[in-house]
Structure 1
Amino acid sequence: MTVIDPGSYLELEGGRPAVRFERVYDHPIDRVWALVSEPAELAYWFPFPEVAMEPVVGGEITFSGDSNMPEVVVTGEVTAFEPPHLLAFTWGGDALRFELTRLDAARTRLTLTDFLDSADAAARNAAGWDLCLAALDARAAGGSAAPPAAGAHDDAPADPPAGRPSTWRRRYDAYVAAGLPKGAPIPGGA
């Protein structure tokens, strides 16, 4: 796996804020499509490990099962479904778009764009997607680590040792330092 864009802030479609990530996987497009579109594969890396999806434009997609927020169920609508190249859906006030491009028989580029409801969510969401994509990278490499939680807590304890911020917080701070807008509420108050 090669990181092309580790996470950048953009304004798209009439000024709508977005964060975008790009990776190249050493896998055929059908394998990468399975990783980003099949609920059983999404369980390994998506913020909510339980995903139910009607794989048609206009179909419902539901996310649940976050151990940090067990009561939370998010529903959205599939807005594009073009196997094995494009999956897009609404998620809360955001819209997610997974675009796959076959580079050759054994390599695929994945572009993930999160169209944000508000610009101040850029650093928060970028840090979250950074963790999720690290889990996706591990899954693509054959690993099966636990998925990141949708909340702000990740692989660090809820109360890390004094002076040691969580992995999520370090990534968030790095995106803020890189100039991504901040200010949106952070789940768990991290």
Structure 2
Amino acid sequence: MDLGTYGEHQGRPAVRFERVYAHPVERVWQAVATPEGLAHWFPSAVELEPREGGTITFSGDPNMEPTTGTVVAFEPPRLLAFTWGGDELRFGLEPAGDHGCRLTLVNVLGETDAAARNAAGWSVCLAELDKHLAGAEAHGPHSATALSWKPLYEAYVASGMPSGAAVPGMPAEDGPVTGS
């Protein structure tokens, strides 16, 4: 599994992931920018107004309360960006090869110590997206068939990624392994 990287995006801390898929940009756009596509792999059910300045709502995550954000960029089929709590998520798509697509997911962090936690979560989610785009059953990141979050988190902490943020839905005694 390709792990994400930690760095900065426009001067803010961020985790970044890249994936290349053997599908055209339009196919991957449907998976990452529509409520129907996101339902297979994103941690919350999503409703969105598909326009810059539109509202995006998140619900159904067993570890978080429903919330809303703002669509900050909507440029089909190349870029979707929105706020989620203190974070910003950016899904960038570009052609890769003759018929493929490169997805770049950047999670601009509201808090630096959330890097390892969020990176582990996105690793689980992206594994579900990989399944969905491959035509396999993808039951979402909270399903019994999803990757286990904790070993991924521990790998990110061991790599030196900033950590220590609380983990929603996890008792404090099982909470994050402290690192940097």
Q: Does 1:118 align with 2:100?
A: no
Which residue of 152, 160, 163 corresponds with 1:179?
160
Which structure 1 residue ranges, 4+ long, deviate > 4 Å from structure 2? Answer: none
Q: Quick one: distance in 1 between partners of 2:84 and 2:29?
A: 19
Superposition deviation, residue 6 in structure 1: 2.4
Q: Does 1:11 align with 2:11?
A: no
Superposition deviation, residue 65 in structure 1: 1.1
Q: Quick one: distance in 1 between partners of 2:97 and 2:9?
A: 28
8 Å contact from structure 2 (residues 129, 138) kept in 1: no
- Letter of the 1:120 counterpart: D
- Letter of the 1:104 counterpart: G
- Letter of the 2:106 counterpart: T
Which residues of structure 1 form unaligned runs of 5+?
157-165
Which residue of 31, 34, 37 corresponds with 2:33?
37
Q: Quick one: distance in 1 between partners of 2:46 and 2:65?
A: 13
Q: Which residue of 1 is the match for residue 177 of structure 2? A: none
Q: Which residue of 1 is the match for residue 52 of structure 2? A: 57
Deviations 1:121-152 (A, max 9, x none): 00000000000000000000012321113xxx
Q: Does 1:84 align with 2:77?
A: yes
Which residues of structure 2 form unaligned runs of 5+?
175-180
Q: Could you tell me the TM-score, scaled by structure 1's length?
A: 0.85
SS in 1 for 2:3: strand
- Letter of the 1:176 counterpart: V
8 Å contact from structure 1 (residues 6, 22) kept in 2: no
Q: Which residue of 1 is the match for residue 144 of structure 2? A: 155
RMSD: 1.7
Q: Could you tell me the TM-score, scaled by structure 2's length?
A: 0.89
